[in-house]
Amino acid sequence: PFVQRVRWFNSVIELDRQRLGLDVTDPVSMLMGWGMNHNNTRQVATISRENVLEDAYNSFNPIGESFKAKLGVTFINEFGQEAGIDGGGITKEFLTSVSDEGFKNEKYRLFVENSEHELYPSSRIKSPIHLKYLWFMGKVLGKCLYEQVLIDVTFADFFMKKILKNEQNYHSSFDDLASLDQELYSNLVKLLDMRQDEIDALELHFEITDDDTKTSVELVPNGSDKRVTKANIFQYVLCVADYKLNRKLYRPTLYFQRGLSAMIPSHWIEMFNSVELQMLISGGSRDIDLEDLKASTQCGGYLENDKTVVQLWEILAEFTPQQRFKFIKFVTSVPRAPLQGFAALNPHFGIRNAGREIDRLPTASTCVNLLKLPDYKDKNLLKQKLLYAINAEARFDLS
């Protein structure tokens, strides 16, 4: 079962921590020599909010496997050094910030989207530094898996399958084209059912116009002279899919996967399929289990039966699943529940009393999964303020 495989995966990571001597305090482990490795030293860095990816790459890419160790990160913004709570939260904030910038920022264009807004590496990456950034983003994803930090990133299914096909040279099949370009896939499938006269009318040859360079590329030797017919139409559609999925994306996939495997060896994840790997990365896709969340929530300045806390749970129960996802993202930075339930969330989900200034909005410290909730004592006002806050999708500095 998937849940048991997730536990096994996490146990393999714990054994790897012991091998490297990371965070080991057990006397037996120390006696056996674990915990004496140089990797036990906290890796420190100062990261500017203006240049998160560059600073992270320069600080952590050269240290190799030591990236698996605890991180000591100090964030700098336009006003100076940010305060931060180091209880696992700083590493989470760092990883989610680097992920947002590396996977989604238009500044680098390391990744592009399909029609479903799912990500895959850009085939346009040519410069050495951008290829190195792509390698590093693989390491960042590996670090997220290593630390069980969920990130709000959804990858195209064909790309997840490539990551799992390391021994098969990341080779994708024709049906994988649907998750790259659904329109092209549908059109190619239609070609297979066409009559000879319909195919002749299209005047197709074994060549394709490259989307990036706008030049013609031959799919087979002398492809520009080879006409597509009913007899070779199957070969043609396979060649188009192979060019789009494999020939163009081989290099960026290779760089990303090599970075990932520096943190998470391929054989650790080959027991998962592409959908399960996506769930490991970004959590489950079901509705939020409020009873599980409530049982795992810690309150500060509130009691469980305080009026505002009781009203909060009532409002969350009345929310639509989409609104509940937005609420969870507001507090934790990821709109999904942990695979092993909220008890596995680190740090635990928390609600803190933010005082009686009821004109203020609820805020959150996503680095420590903490909701700072003013004591409104008015259900309608609480719902109004909460909806405004979670729909604004604002980011907050560490505090």
pLDDT over threshold 90, residue 347: no
Q: Which residues are annotated as catalytic?
A: 367
pLDDT band at 89 (very low <50, low <70, confident <90, very high): low
* Residues 353, 375 contacting (CB under 8 angstroms): yes
- In this prediction, residues 88-105 reach a mean pLDDT of 86
Q: Which residue has the tokens 């120390």?
A: 30
What is the structure's pLDDT at 382? 96
Spatial separation of the C-alpha atoms in residues 270 and 274, rounded to whole Å = 10
Among candidates 372, 335, 333, 350, which has minimal Cα distance to 293?
Answer: 350
User: Beta partners for 218?
Assistant: 207
What is the structure's pLDDT at 35? 39
Going from the C-alpha of 396 to that of each of 178, 280, 333, 347, 368, the distances in angstroms are 38, 26, 11, 17, 12
Phi-psi region of 333 (alpha: psi -120 to 50; beta: other; left: phi over 0): left
- Provide Rg for the chain, Cα atoms: 25
- In this prediction, residues 19-23 reach a mean pLDDT of 80
pLDDT over threshold 60, residue 86: no
For residue 347, cis peptide bond before it (omega within 30 degrees of 0): yes
pLDDT over threshold 90, residue 176: yes
DSSP tally for the chain: helices H, then strands E: 16, 11
What is the structure's pLDDT at 38? 42
Residues in CB range of 218: below 8 A, 6 or more apart:
206, 207, 224
What is the structure's pLDDT at 26? 43
> At 71, is the secondary structure helix, strand, or coil?
strand
What is the structure's pLDDT at 32? 37
Spatial separation of the C-alpha atoms in residues 291 and 342, rounded to whole Å = 10
pLDDT over threshold 80, residue 260: yes
User: Beta partners for 77?
Assistant: 80
What is the structure's pLDDT at 82? 77
- In this prediction, residues 27-46 reach a mean pLDDT of 52
* Residues 7, 281 contacting (CB under 8 angstroms): no
pLDDT band at 2 (very low <50, low <70, confident <90, very high): very high
Tokens read off for 196: 């000879």
Spatial separation of the C-alpha atoms in residues 367 and 386, rounded to whole Å = 19
Residues in CB range of 140: below 8 A, 6 or more apart:
56, 95, 98, 99, 102, 259
| First vs last C-alpha separation in the chain | 40
Spatial separation of the C-alpha atoms in residues 145 and 142, rounded to whole Å = 5
* Residues 339, 328 contacting (CB under 8 angstroms): no
DSSP 207: E
- Lowest-confidence segment of 85-89, 205-209, 282-286 by average pLDDT: 85-89
What does DSSP say about strands 111-113 and 80-81: parallel, antiparallel, or unpaired? unpaired
Q: What 3 state SS string does 337-386 have?
A: CCCCCHHHCCCCCEEEECCCCCCCCCEEEHHHCEEEECCCCCHHHHHHHH
Q: How many CB atoms lie within 10 A of CB 210?
A: 14
pLDDT over threshold 50, residue 330: yes
Tokens read off for 387: 């909806």
Give tens-digit pLDDT for 208-224. 999 888 899 999 999 99
What is the structure's pLDDT at 37? 43
Give tens-digit pLDDT for 356-380. 998 999 999 888 899 999 999 999 9
What is the structure's pLDDT at 88? 54
> At 371, is the secondary structure helix, strand, or coil?
strand
Average pLDDT, the chain: 89
Q: How many CB atoms lie within 10 A of CB 353?
A: 17
